[in-house]
Amino acid sequence: MLVDVAEDRWAQAFLGPAPSDRYTEPARAPKEWWTDLNRVVKDVYFWAGGGEVLLDGIREVAEKMQSVHSSTVLDISPRSGHEEMIFDVLLGYEKSASTRNMEAWLGARL
């Protein structure tokens, strides 16, 4: 599949000769790996576009993290791509619901 070829190419560009590990592929880490996360951060916000290739991995990591860290939020925006919020700013689009959601979440913590 073309997506698999692209993902393999991106992974090789990211990892280089180094082997993957739980930091480079967090979806492969067991949920217990996230147990002490609350010692590092109070809140975690995951956002994903409902139409993006990375959705399954994002959802998998977020759900594992949610199972051991109750202040983890997963926000999935239907029919959105991975860079939606960046495009809002760079192309001067009206802020999407995704952008407004993330700004509200972040604003409540600043």
Do the domain assignments include residue 89?
Answer: yes
Is the whole model's pTM more than 0.85, yes or no? no
Report d(CA 7, CA 25) in Å as an integer: 13
Do the domain assignments include residue 80?
Answer: yes
Contact call for residues 24 and 11 (beta carbons, < 8 A): no
Do the domain assignments include residue 3?
Answer: no
Do the domain assignments include residue 38?
Answer: no
Do the domain assignments include residue 22?
Answer: no
Do the domain assignments include residue 18?
Answer: no
Q: How many residues does the chain have?
A: 110
Q: Could you give phi then psi for residue 20, rounded to 5 degrees?
A: -75, 160
Print pLDDT tens along the chain (110 aa). Answer: 555 787 788 878 888 888 888 988 898 899 999 999 999 999 999 999 998 888 999 999 999 999 999 999 999 998 888 888 888 888 988 888 888 999 999 999 99
Residue 59: name the closest of 74, 81, 43, 41 by CA.
74
Question: Which residue range forms the structural domain that includes residue 55?
Answer: 43-110
- Counting the structural domains of the chain, the total is 1
